[in-house]
Structure 1
Amino acid sequence: MNPGTPDLKQREYEDSDEPCSSSWKGQVSPKDIPSEIEDADDCFDDSGDDSTDSTDSEIIRPVRKRKVAVLSSDSDTDKATDNCWSEIDTPPRLQMFEGHAGVTTFPSQCDSVPSVTNLFFGDELFEMLCKELSNYHHQTAMKCKTPSRTLKWSPVTQKDIKKFLGLIILMGQTRKDSWKDYWSTDPLICNPIFPQTMSLHRFEQIWTFWHFNDNAKMDSRSERLFKSQPVLDYFLHKFRTIYKPKQQLSLDEGMIPWRGRFKFRTYNPAKITKYSLLVRMVCESDTGYICNMEIYTAEGRKLQETVLSVLGPYLGIWHHIYQDNYYNATSTAELLLQNKTRVCGTIRESRGLPPNLKMKTSRMKKGDIIFSRKGDILLLAWKDKRVVRMISTIHDTSVSTTGKKNRKMGENIVKPTCIKEYNAHVKGIDPLYFTFNSE
């Protein structure tokens, strides 16, 4: 399962048309951090009944506000004029997908779990971990005048690393007050598997010198993920090469719970997991397979740069990207079209909607559809319990049934096709979450 769920994602509050109820703490730039408030107008999967919808903004507790400088974004400066937009719907001519989806590297035994695991956890990974661990031990030993107990060293092998990682996983299954309790001889709390696998002293050595990159190469120009970048790059390379995704992808965030000291740690008081690392992920819509990911490091990049960066390996072959209103803008859709990539998703009113379309939404009744088109870019508003604004370079204004019926009237529920397909394909980041919440 992917780290975190979309329920834990945050939205960029300086873009919001509504007052912000969340505060960001620490040295984190809000420029490309999402805030949840703007997602209140999203409509994922409506069963058609008249039950009251709940939004995240309703459960946010009052917090002490502080002044935050509003930072400009490329997406916020989109200007739209009625002269560029038409109310004539011309369906886009979709190009054939130029990619080749499927597994590119097969395991030696497809029905063997170790063989499949070895595709991602190869010998080169464990060799790198052994090298960096030994290197860090050597650097530490050179600084110490009197060798400590942990410096009585024997070379670490790949087998040692595998045992160490296995014990770390087991620790998550059997919780204890102290990690040393796993080697306790007390019959009431002992776990024989731990001392049988590795001695406490050896585990402590590896834990002390656990390292992923050479500190000697670090300088003031190094990125904030320098110490973990080699491992991250290794897995991203595996994700991209072992399997090629289908045409439909989804771009969204995941949250990794974290309460440690990081300059780019994010804080959202409205969520269960308040302190976390923000991860942007591109996943295959059908399976949730992670194709690419980037950890937010508060380096002040603009939103379009972030979108192009995380989608970079999959541009140019006519992928269809489904993403929510934080990432979407008319200028972004145009830029992705130039890179042979199409998008679909919700959009904020301030992200390039023409003035004429904005005025008409205030007079809409339930079931009404209004739209504007500029070339392949379709902007559509549909009124259900609230107005849902969509942008798509994939669809036209056609409607289709959802396969569900209104509980009171017994009629088939009909939605615009772009909304129906957005609901189906945006689930890629966490399919289990969306399945549970759409029941």
Structure 2
Amino acid sequence: MPSIIRTQVEPAGPTQITIGAKTPAEVFSLFMTDQMLAKICVFTSDKMRQLRENFKDADKATFKDIGLMELKAFIGVLIMSGAHKDNHLTAVEMWSHVYGCPFYRSNFSECRFAFIIRSFRFDDPTTRTTRLKTDRFAHVRDVWDKVIQNCKANYSPGPHLTVDEQLLAFRGCCIFRMYLPNKPSKYGLKLVMACDADTLYTCNAIPYLGKGSCDMKKGVTLGEHFTMELVAPFKRSGHTVTCDNWFTSLPLARSLSKDGMHLVGTIRPKPYLPSQLVNHKVEVGESVAVFNYKDQITLLNQRVSSTKRIMILSTLHHNPSIVEKKKTQLHMFYNATKGGVDAFDQLCLLMSCSRKTRRWPLCLFYGAINIVFNNAYIIYAHRPENKGIARRQFAMDLAVELCRPYAGNRLLWARYLPRDVVSLIRSVFDLPEDAAAAAEEEPRAKSEKWKRCYLCPSSGTARTKVLCRTCHKSVCTNHTNQLCSMCYKPS
């Protein structure tokens, strides 16, 4: 591509940590580890015990504690709902026998799915009040930091990084909810992200927690602060950062140059910019540029209409030449690398697991799953044997792998499940009717007449039709033992 300037940075690709991950579920576990999910299980189960007190039938399986296997299956259902674009549907519609997908009903009941969402928690409530005094993000801080840490450790980005903002749609109560009229959802939680401009891999992301939440140096703008925080892991690497006019400034360009990085971005009229360039009269479509020899910075001013100008600052291009009509090499480079975060945001809108909620920690968890899914797909598709796999196919394969162990575990309790659910689980996950499962369906040996239990005393009045499978004698329920399908061995 002629608009991209090649630098000395190595091509983008997974790190050595990801070599052993071959299946979609293994790649996904590189970002959301079992240790991380186990902590979520503990906090979610604590909340479930509190909510159980409000139900009369609290002993039902619907309200039991959640385990690691079931939590993975829950995430798998969320990913499958994104693949089928069902994330905007209610649980009633998703579990409908007429309109719903059988995959959902093969993993959970409708009530169990809704109860898990209601109970989902990510931190210890006993210490939350203390942590909130210093961190507004305390509800989900541990989970978010670990996910982003794994994103940085599992992938080496290419030479071009894009810094921009993403808005997670949210209309509930939150002290740092933002209004961005140029975003599709307009209201939501703002994330400042750094993505690889070529592969759209999310390298780093920081939530914006409102005014006064950032510990910045005096004289540093918010855009400069976020940019330096996002690209901190890639200092002295020769990467080129592309951003819009909310981030770009002359002090940011100087700071990145000191760290061995380049900056290309549009910039608003600033007092420190040369007034001769800002107010220079040029025809519509024409451009004029100046070069600062001291800082090695190029500033280009183009008039796009009679009332609008666009200024682009670059520390990478020192002699911008026209390559297409009236567009210079600087224009072409900026257009080619500016859309990394916006393209990632579009992918999330096309296949998102986010569901409507009034709890902002859950909204951020959905956003984290979208980031993890996109990054896992990029790493999985990077392997030669997986070249060309579609994102939707990867999402469905991942969902099935996450849910299959839990579905097999449900079959161990097939005796207590409706027959249509048992057959649905076997058909969806292609599970065979093995000996253990067949034992659950084997009818109990019965006598044609009511007889007295041979183990009860003669004065007893217990009558039964149940026969022992070995000696074929009549026994009552007080003298029988029940075995699970795994312990039972048919004769």
**TM class, shorter-chain normalised?**
0.5 to 0.7
With CA pairs under 8 Å and 6+ residues apart, which has the higher RCO, 1 or 2? 1
State the match for 2:159 in structure 1: 247
Assess if the C-alpha contact under 8 Å between 1:427 and 1:434 holds in 2. Answer: no
Matches within 5 A, 1:3-402: 96-97=8-9, 101-104=12-15, 105-108=17-20, 110=22, 112-137=23-48, 140=50, 149-150=57-58, 154-171=64-81, 173-174=85-86, 178-180=90-92, 182-183=94-95, 188-189=98-99, 192-218=102-128, 219=130, 220-269=132-181, 271-300=183-212, 301=214, 302-303=221-222, 304-350=224-270, 352-359=272-279, 361-363=280-282, 366-373=285-292, 374-385=294-305, 387-402=309-324
Structure 2: distance between partners of 1:321 and 1:177: 39
Assess if the C-alpha contact under 8 Å between 2:37 and 2:71 holds in 1. Answer: yes
Query: Offset at 1:237?
Result: 1.2
Q: Which runs of no fewer than 5 residues in structure 2 stay unpaired?
A: 215-220, 348-491
Structure 2: distance between partners of 1:312 and 1:378: 24
Residue aligned with 2:277, SS:
helix
- Measured against aligned partners, the alpha-carbon deviations of 1:73-114 in whole angstroms (never above 9, x if no partner) come to xxxxxxxxxxxxxxxxxxxxx9954x784211235464x433
Residues 311, 259 of structure 1: alpha-carbon distance in 2 compared, 3 angstrom cutoff:
same
TM-score between both structures, scaled by the size of structure 1: 0.65
State the match for 1:17 in structure 2: none
State the match for 1:26 in structure 2: none
Assess if the C-alpha contact under 8 Å between 1:357 and 1:372 holds in 2. Answer: no
Corresponding letter in the other structure for 1:382: Q
Residue aligned with 1:396, SS:
coil
Query: Offset at 1:210?
Result: 0.9
Residue aligned with 1:390, SS:
strand
Corresponding letter in the other structure for 2:39: M
TM-score between both structures, scaled by the size of structure 2: 0.58
Structure 1: distance between partners of 2:54 and 2:319: 75
Corresponding letter in the other structure for 1:279: L
Bigger helix fraction: 2
Instruction: Give the aligned length.
Output: 325
Q: Which runs of no fewer than 5 residues in structure 1 stay unpaired?
A: 1-44, 46-93, 403-412
Larger Rg: 2
- Measured against aligned partners, the alpha-carbon deviations of 1:245-264 in whole angstroms (never above 9, x if no partner) come to 01211111122111111121
Assess if the C-alpha contact under 8 Å between 1:163 and 1:197 holds in 2. Answer: yes
Query: Offset at 1:281?
Result: 0.8
Larger displacement relative to structure 2 (268-277 or 324-333):
268-277
Identity of counterpart residues, as a percentage?
Answer: 24
Assess if the C-alpha contact under 8 Å between 1:342 and 1:393 holds in 2. Answer: yes
Residue aligned with 2:106, SS:
helix
